[in-house]
Structure 1
Amino acid sequence: MSISLLAKYLPENCLPFLKHWFGDHTIHIKITRGRNSKLGDYRKMPDKSHQITINSTLQPQLFFFVLTHELAHLLAFENYGPRISAHGMEWKNTFRTMLLESISIYEDDLKSIILKFSKAPKANFMSSPELVRYFHIEDLEDESSYLEDLAIGARFIYRKETYIIEEKRKKNYLCLNTDTQKKYIFKPLARVEKIT
């Protein structure tokens, strides 16, 4: 997929950054249906080309953020060699540089969140509560809540099953499935339906 075909998924004025980052690399970008397990993925292919997959359901600024994350893998491996850790210091420094270089792309209310995130980039998007909240703004009108917004003892529905919050353990929550009586650990920003 050419960079220009990506335009419909991206915010305005970001193509110059992408052209610079793509350089002479052969990159195959696949736009996928929404995946719950990940927003994007990077792989170096056997023929030395690169493959990046990104969910089609992402808002333009999040799409650009995820694409930047995946391109940071490519550039870090190219600049530091194949033996580096996927989300090690080389990747973090590369991602940080790319985020700061392209900060003008983001909306004003998102810039401060990106700047804060860039100080210590996380491998997993869900590990950044501010980013997760920002990109779920439109979803707040539905019936779902973040688990961390519920009280201990509250009942909620997750994937059509009912749970009770038993306790908070460091950052996560121990919850009991009322049907199976099994206990599960939930992240604080899990989207759940509160039972009132």
Structure 2
Amino acid sequence: MTLALYARRARSRIVDDLDAAIARDPAASSRLDLALNSPGLHAIWVYRAAHRLWLRGGAAKLVARVLMTVARSVTGVEIHPGATIGRRFFIDHGMGVVIGETAEVGDDVMLYHGVTLGGRSLQKVKRHPTVGSRVTIGAGARILGPVHIGDDVQVGANSVVVKDVPAGAVATGIPAVVRFPEGREDPYEAMFKDPALWI
């Protein structure tokens, strides 16, 4: 890939991330505001560079880990460079987010602060969650182990998810209980009916 093509792709991805953040953050006033003041975006941008290094292997993996350690100290967001994260990913507020090495995250996903996509095994296997596209995970939620979170899922604040959650469901509680929005109810709007999601 030529340097010019790489630069165009990187710019396109940055603009996608900024526009996704603007769509999800009512406090955002502009792309510039977000680019300068969003630790979640800063963390994902460093992650994207570190992930490319991670994929090269060898000594590049160490450089990737160092980059993410620096990003964590600056942003409060810890993303392992081996994780796989899709497009238009947004972390609102950022502080305390942890995304493990074998985590896989789809497109258009939003995490609030304090979310953990963590492991439950010390073995070198797939040990972190797989999160589908268009998923929102509330503040302080913990999704642990190699569970699958389907597309269009909403996970409530402080919920602990240790089992698969099917597409279109809402998961709340400790351990999380899965329910489905009634009729044609929007899953995001369904969250407002359950105050436990915002605790």
TM-score of the alignment, normalized to the shorter chain, above 0.5: no
TM-score (norm 1): 0.34
Considering Cα pairs closer than 8 Å and 6+ residues apart, tell me whether 1 or 2 has the greater RCO: 1
- TM (norm. structure 2) is 0.34
Q: Which has the higher helix share?
A: 1
Per residue, is there more strand in 1 or in 2? 1
